[in-house]
């Protein structure tokens, strides 16, 4: 191979090399890219890093650790470590082993919790060795990833001496995957585990996912939907589960399953699934034995019972403790655990009864059972009392189980957070729950001190970038890092993730860190602020805006907005009594309107729209302002990201830009829908005169229409003016005359892109075609509604007064090339490119 020595590169060639674009990255390697370090840093590490690696054990996790070390060092430093079977006497080496093995060879030791690690530089007869010691096999793996992370982040490894142990022993993800390969609330493509009723033939991605999980210290993975199909425990599928376990085992990740409580009957053929029936007890015991024969290191079960239509112990008048314990006792001899979900509520509640309150359900169902659960039962509690909404208080159940093990369940997949089409970094929200002080017995008791396990609902898919949004990977990263150490700050986490994922160019770092850290508040601002919850279509896709979808039905996500006021009275004094489920100190905070934090005021109180918040603003004005603020902020995200061109590899640059531009458009849809709805309901005008006024907007229904037909949209707030035009012919046009001043303008076309067709649009100014596109996105709706509402911006059009703008729509399939409005503005979106 021809080698160029650096001093022989002529100056011109050097400039050409510098100009070579950053190579495209797919996001597949996430934060484990091991990108080459810059020359100075690489030289420093090369000088201090031994060239030899020794693994003291030949078992799987250590072997994975050794391979990972070689891979990482090769990627970052361009050097391939040499594997030696034993520690060399007079050459430096990196030694991997458990504390026991290390003690025998080096006569040093440390105190570590299970899964903990120790990174230690030491000398033996003057020769320096770097030790990566684990409390157990998995700890060696976690230490190795931590060591590589340090190098990737440019931290010193010279005289390293660092011990870390996880704050909780059980750190799992749940994957709501179905046997046919679909994923409930998954947005990154089909299942990596299942396809057509079987485990995928090629499980490479499962193995790679295991690597990602191990890099964060995650040690368990439940590989099917909690709305569980009993077949997963059938004789056909257990061997399939075993194959998946084999793919995850090298990374110290135990496989687990969600189970259906009715299995003894549906699968086992018994005439009952009563947890106290001896036949049922025997069935669970023998089924669990069968699972462990196939998978000796099986982790355990997750169980959703008596909730959202799942069968449970109530069928036989038994308790959740009876249900959990019958399964727990079967698992116990094998060392398995059962996560019993605290997410139990009645989804057919009578909304007319003002005392009914879904937020009470978890506490009401479980707190009397405290002390009745076996010690391998863990109650898995969602962070808030409702269901992963944009803001909820910490679930009161965390403070109600003195004698029972608890896990916090956090949702990594962005079900109510824009489904990976919006960027929302969830760590700041999770930290609010984890740091929330429940004041049990009037002592400091943050939620993180009460939970002994972390569960993240991850739902990665076959998309190359796992979640179909590069930014969403930060949520898995953040979950794992918090599960390991809940005291890490959001900034620390995002800073690490960012540098590992995109590099440490200061401009990129600042833009992305600022974006991620503000993104939750931004999303809340343009969806449901003040504790209103997400205000999305809760009886449908959980994606688009539909303010009333949560009202007047049994699902219980009521915000109770009417012409007089808004918010759910959950006080003890006049409401449902929910605030009384907290300790007296917390109850005091929530019970009184004066003390209640603004962010949760409408979660806990019903108030007139003119109620003044602690901030001094009225509730209605806050709703208006926050929606404008939120939408403007997303526009700045897209603008700021667009300024990074050339600093990020082209593929990820483009993909993130498209995502942020789309989000900026959707934020406007949300802004207008929510504000118009509250304006109509309250009759109170926006003090700043914006709501209901859209300078430069021309409604499609007011244009000259050829074959397009105006139709009302449901719910009305999903379209501007409550109306869209739909094309029922082969081709339709909508046109209007521009009557503004001459100059360069941006033209925004708001159209609808449904799931079931690929319409084509063309835009003309006079006879000149100025843009065309197809509506080929995969948005989660077949209806003309807010979820389908999409935006095309045609920038820098030179318009004159009197110009005719004509939009031609060609429908395809059931999709009707529907249009909402056109806006002609000086600036739209993030830039005037």
Is 387 an active-site residue? yes
CA-angle at 71, arms to 68 and 77, nearest 5°: 130
- Cβ proximity to ligand GCV: between 147 and 187 the closer is 187
> Strand, helix or coil at 488?
coil
CB of 184 vs ligand GCV, minimal distance in Å:
5
Interacting residue ranges for ligand GCV, rule: CB under 6 A: 176, 184-185, 225-227, 304, 308, 343, 387, 415
Is 308 an active-site residue? yes
- Cβ proximity to ligand GCV: between 31 and 343 the closer is 343
Task: Identify the residue whose tokens are 């484990």.
Answer: 32
Which burial class, exposed, middle or buried, applies to 90 when counting CB atoms under 10 A from its CB (0-12, 13-18, 19+)?
A: exposed
> Strand, helix or coil at 28?
coil
CB of 185 vs ligand GCV, minimal distance in Å:
5
- Cβ proximity to ligand GCV: between 243 and 304 the closer is 304
CB of 459 vs ligand GCV, minimal distance in Å:
10
The sign of the CA dihedral 761, 764, 767, 769 is: negative
Residue 395 · residue 342 · CB < 8 Å: yes
- Cβ proximity to ligand GCV: between 182 and 636 the closer is 182
- Cβ proximity to ligand GCV: between 98 and 380 the closer is 380
CB of 361 vs ligand GCV, minimal distance in Å:
12
CB of 569 vs ligand GCV, minimal distance in Å:
24
Task: Identify the residue whose tokens are 């002390």.
Answer: 371
How many CB atoms sit inside 10 A of residue 550's CB?
26
CA-angle at 189, arms to 183 and 195, nearest 5°: 60
* Closest by CA position to 238, among listed 166, 191, 288, 203: 288
- Cβ proximity to ligand GCV: between 319 and 411 the closer is 411
Give the Cα separation of 170 and 407 in Å (integer). Answer: 9
- Cβ proximity to ligand GCV: between 386 and 471 the closer is 386
State the catalytic residue, choosing from 184, 195, 277, 308. Answer: 308
CA distances from 689 to 360, 609, 613, 624, 632 (A): 39, 17, 21, 10, 16
Scored b (16 or more CB within 10 A) or e, 399-427 reads: bbbeebbbbbbbbbbbbbbbbbbbbbbbb
- Cβ proximity to ligand GCV: between 320 and 697 the closer is 320
CB of 415 vs ligand GCV, minimal distance in Å:
6
Give the Cα separation of 133 and 585 in Å (integer). Answer: 44
Q: Which long-range contacts (CB under 8 A, 24 or more apart) does 701-708 make?
A: 701/725, 702/736, 703/734, 703/735, 703/736, 703/822, 704/734, 704/735, 704/736, 705/732, 705/733, 705/734, 706/732, 706/733, 706/734, 706/735, 707/731, 707/732, 707/733, 708/732, 708/733, 708/734, 708/809, 708/819
301: part of which helix (H) or strand (E)? strand 300-303
CB of 305 vs ligand GCV, minimal distance in Å:
11
Q: What is the DSSP string of 167-218?
A: SSSEEEEE--B-TTS-BTT--SSS-SSEETTEE-S--HHHHHHHHHHHHHT-
- Cβ proximity to ligand GCV: between 181 and 811 the closer is 181
- Cβ proximity to ligand GCV: between 339 and 761 the closer is 339
Query: How many residues are there in the chain?
Result: 833
CB of 291 vs ligand GCV, minimal distance in Å:
22
State the catalytic residue, choosing from 387, 392, 785, 815. Answer: 387
State the catalytic residue, choosing from 62, 175, 415, 820. Answer: 415
CB of 160 vs ligand GCV, minimal distance in Å:
42
- Cis-peptide into 216, omega within 30 deg: no
CB of 528 vs ligand GCV, minimal distance in Å:
16
Residue 192 · residue 206 · CB < 8 Å: yes
Kindly list the catalytic residues. 308, 387, 415
């Amino acid at each position: 191979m021809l080698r160029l020595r650096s001093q022989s590169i002529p100056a011109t060639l050097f400039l050409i090399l510098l100009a070579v674009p950053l190579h495209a990255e797919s996001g597949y390697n996430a934060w484990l890219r091991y990108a080459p370090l810059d020359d100075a840093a690489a030289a420093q590490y090369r000088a201090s890093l031994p060239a030899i690696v020794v693994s003291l054990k030949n078992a799987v996790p250590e072997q994975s650790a050794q391979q990972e070390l070689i891979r990482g060092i090769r990627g970052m430093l361009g050097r391939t470590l040499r594997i030696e079977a034993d520690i060399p006497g007079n050459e430096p080496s990196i030694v991997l082993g458990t504390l026991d093995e290390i003690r025998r060879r080096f006569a040093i030791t440390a105190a570590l919790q299970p899964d903990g690690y120790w990174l230690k530089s030491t000398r033996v007869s003057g020769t320096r060795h770097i030790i990566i010691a684990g409390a157990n096999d998995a700890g060696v793996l976690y230490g190795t990833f931590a060591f590589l992370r340090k190098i990737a982040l440019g931290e010193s490894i010279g005289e390293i001496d660092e011990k870390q142990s996880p704050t909780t022993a059980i750190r799992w993800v749940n994957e709501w995957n179905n046997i046919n390969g679909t994923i409930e609330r998954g947005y990154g493509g089909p299942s990596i585990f299942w396809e057509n009723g079987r485990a995928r033939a090629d499980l490479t991605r499962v193995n790679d996912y295991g690597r990602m999980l191990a890099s964060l210290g995650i040690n368990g993975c439940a590989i099917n939907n909690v709305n569980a199909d009993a077949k997963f425990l059938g004789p056909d599928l257990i061997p399939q589960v075993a194959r998946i376990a084999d793919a995850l085992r090298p990374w110290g990740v135990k496989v687990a399953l969600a189970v259906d409580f009715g299995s003894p009957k549906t699968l086992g053929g018994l005439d009952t699934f009563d947890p106290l029936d001896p036949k049922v007890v025997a069935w669970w015991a023998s089924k669990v034995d069968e699972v462990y024969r196939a998978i000796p290191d099986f982790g355990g079960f997750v169980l959703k019972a008596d909730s959202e239509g799942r069968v449970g112990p109530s069928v036989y008048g038994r308790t959740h403790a009876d249900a959990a314990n019958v399964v727990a006792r079967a698992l116990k001899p094998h060392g398995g655990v059962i996560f019993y979900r605290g997410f139990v509520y009645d989804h057919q509640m009578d909304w007319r009864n003002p005392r009914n309150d879904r937020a009470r359900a978890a506490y009401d169902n479980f707190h009397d059972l405290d002390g009745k659960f076996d010690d391998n039962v863990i109650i898995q509690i969602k962070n808030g009392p409702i269901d992963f909404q944009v803001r909820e208080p910490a679930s009161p159940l965390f403070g109600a189980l003195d004698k029972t093990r608890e896990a916090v369940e956090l949702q990594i997949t962005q079900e109510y957070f824009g489904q990976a089409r919006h960027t929302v970094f969830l760590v700041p929200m999770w930290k609010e729950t984890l740091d929330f002080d429940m004041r049990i017995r009037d002592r400091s008791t943050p939620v993180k001190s009460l939970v002994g396990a972390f569960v993240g609902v991850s739902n990665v898919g076959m998309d190359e970038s796992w979640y179909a949004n590069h930014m969403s990977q930060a949520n898995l990263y953040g979950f794992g890092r918090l599960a390991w150490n809940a005291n890490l700050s959001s900034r620390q986490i995002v800073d690490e993730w960012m540098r590992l994922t995109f590099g440490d160019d200061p401009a990129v770092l600042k833009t992305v860190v600022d974006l991620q850290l503000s993104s939750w508040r931004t999303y809340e601002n343009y969806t449901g602020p003040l504790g209103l919850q997400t205000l999305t279509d809760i009886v449908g896709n959980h994606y688009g805006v539909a303010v009333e979808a949560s009202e007047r039905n049994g699902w219980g996500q009521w915000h109770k907005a009417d012409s007089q006021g808004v918010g759910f009275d959950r006080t003890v004094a006049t409401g449902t009594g929910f605030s009384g489920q907290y300790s007296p100190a917390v109850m005091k905070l929530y019970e009184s309107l004066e003390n209640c934090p603004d962010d949760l005021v409408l979660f806990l109180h019903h108030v007139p729209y003119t109620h003044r918040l602690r901030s001094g603003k009225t509730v209605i004005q806050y709703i208006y302002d926050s929606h404008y603020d939120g939408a403007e902020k997303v526009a700045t995200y897209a603008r700021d990201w667009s300024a990074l061109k050339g600093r990020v590899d082209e593929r990820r640059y483009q993909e993130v830009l498209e995502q942020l531009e789309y989000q900026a458009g959707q934020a406007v849809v949300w802004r207008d829908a929510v504000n118009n709805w509250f304006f109509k309901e309250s009759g109170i005008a926006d003090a700043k005169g914006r709501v209901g006024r859209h300078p430069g907007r021309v409604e499609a229904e007011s244009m000259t229409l050829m074959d397009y037909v105006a139709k009302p949209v449901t719910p009305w707030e999903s379209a501007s003016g409550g109306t869209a035009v739909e094309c029922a012919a082969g081709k339709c046009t909508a046109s209007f005359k521009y009557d503004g001043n001459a100059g360069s303008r941006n033209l925004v076309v708001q159209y609808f892109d449904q799931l079931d067709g690929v319409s084509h649009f063309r835009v003309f100014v006079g006879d000149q075609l100025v843009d065309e596109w197809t509506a080929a996105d995969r948005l989660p709706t077949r209806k003309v509604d807010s979820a389908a509402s999409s935006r095309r911006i045609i920038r820098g059009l030179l318009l004159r007064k009197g110009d005719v703008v004509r939009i031609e729509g060609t429908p395809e399939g059931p999709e009707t090339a529907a249009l909402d409005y056109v806006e002609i503005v000086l600036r739209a979106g993030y830039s005037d490119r």
